[in-house]
Amino acid sequence: MGAADAAPTATSLRPTAPWRRRDRRIGLAAAAPAFIIVVGFMMYPVLYALFISFNKTDGVDFEWVWFKNYSNILTDPLVHQVFLNNVKFLISVPLVIFFSIIVSVLLFEKIRGWKTFRIIFFLPNVLSIVVIGVMFKSIFGYYGAVNSIIAAVGGNRVSFFTDGSLAIWVIVIALVWSGFGYQALLIMSGLSAIDTSVFEAAALDGAGWWRRLRWITLPNIRRELGFVFIINVLYTFTSLFGFIFVMTAGGPGYATTTVDYLVYLKAFGSENLGPGAALAVLLFLFIGLLTILQNRFFRIQGND
């Protein structure tokens, strides 16, 4: 058989360097319009908010005040109180992770009816925050299901939303219920990467369910747990507006007001948009710093 009839080798089938460069340029050119549009829609509001934060403005007239809005925000006792409210809501993070781990492990082990349970647990993520907020406000209302049960067993009805501590717990319950199903799916993606023979060997050696969970499951999904922890902490500081707006409107007083809700109050509750923009910028910087610190703590971006 001549050289011309020889079968092509893997090396001969590889694209040459010029072809690879051309394909890369075509790919970048195809993605460039979408990239420019997305960045434009993201960067313009951020830069405009930064500009407003240095002004006293009603959106029409602008008066440059330098760092006055920032100094007022940083020394405002209300901002300090609201930040502590956000810290209180962080109790939802370990609760979400705990229930997510238990559910994901049970689904991974394919308990009877696991496919049905997977749908049920994920269902709350299909609902909007407004629907969930209205539902929990109704359930824990003075004449809601919870108080009806309390009254049925001879207890006194509880005004959950007139007591700041109780209202926070109602919102925490709503957060846990609405979020743990999605987090469980994220953790299941990590579980699926573990070699099942490891669990089988541990079971043969006499390791019970809890020992397998502690010494095999958790160490092997630490990256997924770190990711879940990060997104839940960030969610607590940036995405509670819908729950607060629908369920408590920040009350009673400012007992359930969060930082993102206070941005709304300061920006649109007065004729000066500057303080609200300054608080939004500070929240943006805080979230960025918090993300970096959490990434370093969990070593998600490392090579370990």
| Cα angle, residue 84 at apex, residues 80 and 86 outer, rounded to 5° | 120
List of residues 6+ apart from 15 with CB closer than 8 A: 23
Scanning 6-160, the segments in alpha helix (DSSP H) are 10-13, 17-53, 68-74, 77-89, 92-108, 114-122, 129-139, 145-152
The pLDDT value given to residue 149: 93
What's the pTM value of the predicted model, to 2 decimals? 0.79
The pLDDT value given to residue 207: 72
The pLDDT value given to residue 5: 53
101 half-sphere exposure, CB direction, 13 A CA radius = 20
The full set of domain ranges for the chain reads 12-72, 90-257
The pLDDT value given to residue 223: 83
What superfamily does domain 90-257 belong to in CATH?
MetI-like (1.10.3720.10)
The pLDDT value given to residue 83: 92
The pLDDT value given to residue 120: 75
Low-confidence ranges of the chain (pLDDT < 50): 1-3, 10, 13, 301-303
d(CA 241, CA 283): 14
The pLDDT value given to residue 114: 65
The pLDDT value given to residue 9: 53
The pLDDT value given to residue 30: 80
